[in-house]
Structure 1
Amino acid sequence: MPDTRKRGSEMVATKRRVHLAKKTGLFIGLLIGAVFAGFPVLWMASSSFKSNTEIFASPPKLITDNFSWDAYTSILTDPTKVRFFINSYVVSLSVTVLTLLIAILAAYAFSRFEFRFKKPLNMIIVSVQGVPPITLLIPYFGLMVTLGLYNTYLGLILTYMVFTLPYAIIMMTGYFNTLPKELDEAARVDGASAMGALWRILVPISIPGIVSVGIYTFMISWNEFLFALTLTRTQDMRTVPIGIQLLMGQNSYEWNQMMAMSILGCIPVLLLFLFFQRFFIGGMTAGAVKN
């Protein structure tokens, strides 16, 4: 009997050691991954407070001896550079709102109704996701020039929506599919129309999915570089990614200002993730379910 108890306690101790070793290994792996992913951002933030010469000092220093806000001051007091941020906000917010509005209506139709060409339309929406955006650059340039939308907000907004809408419709359709149709039927029994059931019942309980799609859409629009460079011409229409590229002069690079503008450009997306992280994860998970 004592031997049995001893062997049992040894097995329990062994399992605890194995469990502790797994947790330790997982923690170390996550820590290495966090350092690998976060160090470039930390170095970027540190470089934004240095002078151009100090950035390339040898040996390099993470913490500068001559802390300075000059790079941020130069950006925030320059009307042209501030305009880059205004343009990005106008375009990204417009694309996000319009994409969510159209995606909600389209997803509701795909999820709740049967109509002609439903499957072909679904296939077209999915196939658009597989088209490399760079292959559409020249056609879109010619189209925007022909329509008189070159170098305009509307041109950028419509172009971005071509790439954000398919994903948004797919995700919102998947999310609506997880909601029981009895909710719609109960609302219709109470006298609500189909649109009333959508906006009064389904949309309020679909906030996690809507938030996740909204964050993704805003992020894509905010960070887009190729079409923003091609479809705009004047400084007053450039967005933040183009503004960062413009700091690369012919003879010198404003590295500290590039780092400062990159940090300022990261803030909107970072804040969205911080405040809506719970909704974002829940919405992405639910939207991935296929019934």
Structure 2
Amino acid sequence: MLTILFPFYWMIKTSMDSSDALFDYPPRFLPASYDFHGYREVLNGTSIGLWLWNSFIVSIGSTLLAVVAGVSGAYGLSRFRYRGKSTLALVVLTTQMMPPLVLIIPIYTIYIGLHLTDTLLGLVIGNFAFSLPVVIWMMKSIFDTIPVEIEEAARVDGASWFFIMTRITLPIALPGLVAVSIYTFINGWDEFMFARTVVTAADKWVGTVGLASFIGVYVTPWDQILAAATIFTLPPVILFLLVQKHFMAGLGAGAVKG
């Protein structure tokens, strides 16, 4: 636990140090002074509020799209029998074997033709496409653990498949759905390479691109970088604390069938 928490503690500690105390040797394990200079510079001299808002829009948008489409696809793979089902499942799995870096340039070329560069919509669609296969496979494993007899009883009573999926199966799979949603949100929140390639306009930067902009040619303001990183870390941490019970339950939702 200490090895996990220490990097976060050091990030917060360094973000509160003065510029002169950053490179003290031996290093201090407590702030030399609670200067908060880095936070003042970040909040007053950068557009971190806009970066966080853009990250929030992209993460929420891609999560909603991936969850809606992924739940439908996963339910179809888990419950229905049709020709080509195994091939479709293999194709979905194969997409995860291809490094995203290989796809960035072709996608960027397509985006130029569709005028999606320098837009948050382009980032939403890109993150949605990268997250969708994982959402499908995670939700399929969760749906496979839910007894099909429950749904068959509802079918006998005349319920439609859409009603069964939304009113019966999804409430049972809620912990797993929350875990998948958190994964997708954090995946969009932390994504850098695609956002750095597709977006060049400063007013469309997301948080990861904004953090990279602090790196200078001759000087790198580490106190400001770590102050911005601390602020950037808060939203996913708060989200996790709010739904941690569902998240922990969802981690094992697809581990055991029956």
Residues 288 and 36 (structure 1), Cα distance of their counterparts in 2 relative to 1, 3 Å cut = same
Alpha carbons 1:75, 1:82 under 8 Å: kept: no
Equivalence for 1:222:
189
Which structure 2 segments of 5+ residues have no match?
none
Q: What amino acid does structure 1 have at the position aligned with 2:208?
A: P
SS of 2:47's equivalent in the other structure is helix
**TM-score where L is the length of structure 1:** 0.84
Q: What percentage of residue pairs aligned between the two structures are identical?
A: 36
CA separation in 2, counterparts of 1:277 and 1:98? 22
Q: CA deviation at 1:52?
A: 2.1
Contact 2:55-2:189 within 8 A present in 1 as well:
yes
Cα separation, partners in 2 of 1:152 and 1:289, compared to 1, 3 Å: farther
> Are residue 185 (structure 1) and residue 155 (structure 2) matched?
no
Q: Distance in 2 between matches of 1:263 and 1:231?
A: 25
Report the alpha carbon displacement of residue 290 of structure 1 after superposing the two structures with TM. 6.3
Structure number, greater radius of gyration = 1
Amino acid paired to 1:106: G
Please say if 1:207 is aligned against 2:174. Answer: yes
In the aligned structure 2, how far is the partner of 1:209 from the partner of 1:147? 35
Larger relative contact order (C-alpha < 8 A, sep ≥ 6)? Answer: 2
**Counterparts of 1:10-89 in structure 2 under 5 Å?**
34-78=1-45, 80-89=47-56
User: Pick from 147, 161, 169: which aligns with 2:128?
Assistant: 161
The one of 226, 239, 248 equivalent to 1:272 is 239
Shift of 1:140: 1.3
Contact kept, 8 Å, 2:18 with 2:32, in 1: the verdict is: no
Equivalent residue number for residue 170 of structure 1: 137
Does the 8 Å CA contact 2:108/2:197 hold for their aligned counterparts? yes
Following the alignment from structure 2 to structure 1, what is the Cα–Cα distance between the partners of residues 257 and 219? 53
Partner of 1:140: 107
Structure 1 spans left out of the alignment, 5+ residues? 1-33
Deviation at 1:51, TM superposition (A): 2.0
What is aligned with 1:128?
95
3-state secondary structure, aligned to 1:264: helix
| Counterpart residue type for residue 2 of structure 2 | V
2:60 is matched with: 93
* Cα drift, residue 216 of structure 1: 0.7
* Residues 79 and 47 of structure 1: CA distance in aligned 2, closer, same or farther (over 3 Å): closer
Q: Which residue in 2 is equivalent to 1:111?
A: 78
- Specify the code of the residue in structure 2 equivalent to 1:170: W
Structure 1 match to 2:229: 262
Structure 2 CA distance for aligned equivalents of residues 172 and 78 of structure 1: 43
Give TM-score, length-normalised by structure 2. Answer: 0.94
Cα displacement (A) at 1:100: 0.7
Check the 8 A contact 1:96/1:217 in 2, yes or no.
Answer: yes
| Alpha-carbon displacement from aligned partner over 1:165-192 (angstroms, at most 9, x marks no partner) | 1010001111111111122122223332
Judge conservation of contact 1:171–1:288 (CA < 8 Å) in 2.
no
Aligned residues: 258
Distance in 2 (CA, whole Å) between partners of 1:89 and 1:209 is 22
SS class of match (1:136): helix
Instruction: Check whether the contact 1:174–1:289 (CA below 8 A) recurs between aligned residues.
Output: no
Matching of residue 247 in structure 1 with residue 214 in structure 2: yes
**CA RMSD after TM alignment:** 1.6
In the alignment, which residue of structure 1 is the partner of 2:250? Answer: 283
